[in-house]
Chain A
C-alpha cells in the first residue's frame, strides 16, 4: 500500500454505514459542513448523499448511506447499502473504506452490524456516537480496548457538539492505515455473531446503562392507551390548525403583494403582450410558487420540531395500527394530514417515511385529501346551487354537502391506499421497525437550518418547473387573442380574448368527452385552465361569463345561476351538473405543482402520470354517476 495519500490525485471514497438513528447524518453534516437533513427520528436518510470532507489535505468524498440493521439487503434501502459496499452501486466508484457508525447506547446490538461489515474485508473505522449519553446514564466505554479487540480504530464522538471530530478528520483521508491484522472468530450466523458481541462487551467492561428515567416518565403519559391518544389528537389538531389558518395571512399577503406588483407593472409598462406576459405570466407564476412558502415553512418547522424532540416516532407508534389497515404506516399520518392544507408540503413531508413502499403509497394517495385549493371551488358551487335549507332543524344542507366532499376525499384516499398495496405495490418487501429515541431538547440553530433547507429544496427543485408550466398555461389562455374592440368593456374584451384562445379550443375539443357528465365547453375551458391549479377555474369561469373579477363572488354566483344553453334554453348549471363538477374536483389531480413535486420525490414522471390517469378516470366516472343519479332522483322528485 502507498504511504500517505496526500499527493495522490484520485479522491478517497468512504461510506458511512450504520443503523437508522445512529447519528450518521449528524456526523456527515459535521464532517462535510453540508446541512443535509438530520432529525431525532429513525430512518430520515431516505436518499443518498455525498459530501466532501472539510479540512482534509487530499480530496475525501463521504457517502451517507441509508440506515440499515443488516447487510443482507431485502428492502430497497438495504440493497443500496449492500451494493455500495460491494462497489456495485451505479455511478459510485469502489470504496476505499467504511466508517461504521454505532450509537454507543445501543452497542450490544450495533456491534453485530460491525461484525458483518468487518467480514467484507474493506478498511473499516468505528465511530461511537452519543458517548455523552452513555456517561450520563452511568455507563462505561473503553474505545482503546475495543480497538485492540477489533483491530480497527475506534473513536468516540458527540456529533452535534463536535467532540472527537478532529482525530476523525485526521484519520479519514488514509483508509490504508486503518486496519491491523486481527483474527476474529468466525461468526456466520446471527447467534454466533451476537455471542461474539456479548463476549466483546464483557471484555471491554461495558456495563448496562441506567434506564433513561426522564424518557420513561414522559412515555408513560404520551404512550398511554388513553392519554396517548388524546395527546396525539391535540398535537394533530394544533398542526392542522397551524398550516390551515396561521399560514393564511402570510399567503394572502403574498397573493396581494404579487397582485399589486402586477398592477403596478401594468401602469408603468406600455400595454402589449410582453407586459401581459410579465404581469400575468411571470409575476403570477412566481407568486404561484411563493404562495406555498408560508405553509411549507410552518409545516416543516412543526415536523422538524416534533422529530428533534422525539415525538414524531411516538405519534407513528400510536397510530400505526390504524394506518396499517390500509397498507400505510404510522408515519403516513402527518403527511396526509398536511395535505388538507396543500398536497405539495404533504408530499414533501412523506420523506419521513422510511419504508419506500409506504412512502410511495402515501405520496400517490395524498392528492385525494381535500386541499385548500379546492375550497374556493366548493364554496362557489355550493353557495350557487345547493339550497340553503336545513335538515332536522339544525343541519344546514350546504354544510352537509361540504362535509360529504371532505369525507369522500378521505375515504377514496384510504381505499386507494388499500388497493395500491394489494396490487401495484404488492410483494415489495416492507418492514416496520422503529426505535423510540430519547426525548431531547431541540436546538433553534439546527431547527432553522433544517427548515431553511426544506424551503430551499422546494423553491429550487419545484419552483422552476411550476413557474415554467404556469407561463405555458398563461400562453394557452392568452393566445391567439381576439381583435381589440373599443366598444367592449374590459370584462367583455377579456371574455372575447379567452374565447379565441387555444385553451378555449381545447375546451371545445373535449366537449364530447365531458358531455356525458353534463358539462358544456365553458366548463371544459375551466377544466383545462384548472390543470394549472384547481382554484383557477373560478377566475376562468368569471372571465367566460364576463364578470369583472372582484373580491365579491356574488356576481359570478348570479351569472352561473342565470347561464342558459342557447339552444335548449335549459340552465347550464342545473343541480346535477354542479354536483357532478364538485365530485370531479374531489377526485381529479388538477395541480401542476403537485405533479411536479410528486415527480421530484419519486424520481420519475411515471408515478405522477399514473396518479393523474387514475384520478382523472375516477373523476370522470364519479361525475358521470353523480350526474345520472342526481338527474334521475330530481326527475323522480319532480314527477
Chain B
C-alpha cells in the first residue's frame, strides 16, 4: 500500500515472523489504521511482537505496550510494521 520510510521497508504485520520485534509504520493518513486497533494502542511508532499464532494460523497473539492481546488475522490485515534490524531485542 503506502510507501514506508526510506531507511526501512514496511511489511504487513501478518508477514512478521513470530518472536521478531517491530514498530508500527507511520500511517498514510486518517483511517489508515482501524479505530478498533488504535483504541488498543496500535498507533504508529508503537513497538510490538507477534507471540504466537493459534494452531490453525489464526487468531494471532500480539504483545505491545506491556500487554498481550489475541486478534483475528483479518482484523490486522493492512497494518504495516517496520521490523527491527538483525539485532533482536529481548
Contacts and interface: CB of A to CB of B under 8 A. Distances in A.
A432 B72 contact: yes
B70 A435 contact: yes
Interface residues of A, number: 38
The secondary structure that dominates the A interface is helix
A428 to B, nearest CB: 15
A226 B56 CA distance: 10
Interface centre among A109, A219, A226, A330 (most CB of B within 10 A): A109
B2 interface: no
Nearest to A139: B66
B52 A432 contact: no
Interface in B26-72: 30, 33, 35-36, 38-41, 43-44, 46, 52, 54-59, 61, 65-72
A322 B56 contact: yes
A433 interface: yes
A223 B41 contact: no
A435 B30 CA distance: 27
Interface residues of B, number: 28
B66 A433 contact: no
A433 B56 contact: no
A135 interface: no
Contact of B72 (A72, A195, A226, A324): A324
A223 B54 contact: yes
Given A106-B67, A208-B66, A432-B75, A190 B59 contact: no
B70 A436 contact: yes
Interface string A90-105: 0000000000000001
A600 interface: no
A190 B67 contact: no
A59 to B, nearest CB: 34
Interface centre among B54, B71, B75 (most CB of A within 10 A): B54
Given A70-B35, A191-B43, A194-B43, A109 B67 contact: yes
B43 A320 contact: no
Nearest to A103: B67
Contact of B41 (A112, A208, A228, A436): A112
B36 A74 contact: yes
B45 to A, nearest CB: 8
A321 B58 contact: yes
Contact of A108 (B66, B69, B70): B66
A194 B38 CA distance: 9
A489 to B, nearest CB: 62
A109 B41 contact: yes
A320 B72 contact: yes
B89 to A, nearest CB: 12
Nearest to B46: A194
Contacts of B66: 105-109, 208-209
A317 interface: yes
Contacts of B70: 313, 317, 320, 432-436
A354 to B, nearest CB: 12
A433 B71 contact: yes
Given A70-B35, A70-B36, A74-B36, A321 B43 contact: no
A317 B59 contact: yes
Contacts of B57: 321
Interface centre among B30, B40, B46, B57 (most CB of A within 10 A): B40
Nearest to B71: A433
A436 B39 contact: no
Contact of B61 (A112, A209, A317): A317
B47 to A, nearest CB: 11
A190 B35 contact: yes
Interface in A418-465: 431-436
A69 interface: yes
A321 B41 contact: no
Contacts of B54: 223, 317-318, 320-321
Nearest to B37: A190
Nearest to A316: B70
Nearest to A434: B70
Interface string A214-257: 00000100010110110000000000000000000000000000
21 contacts: A70-B39, A108-B65, A108-B66, A109-B40, A109-B65, A109-B67, A112-B39, A191-B38, A223-B61, A225-B55, A317-B59, A318-B54, A320-B58, A321-B59, A322-B56, A324-B72, A431-B75, A433-B36, A433-B75, A434-B69, A435-B69
Given A109-B66, A109-B67, A229-B55, 4 more contacts: A189-B38, A223-B54, A223-B61, A433-B71
Please list the 10 inter-chain residue pairs (A to B) with the smallest Cβ-Cβ separation, ordered nearest first. Answer: A190-B38, A321-B56, A70-B39, A106-B67, A108-B65, A191-B43, A321-B58, A225-B55, A434-B70, A69-B39
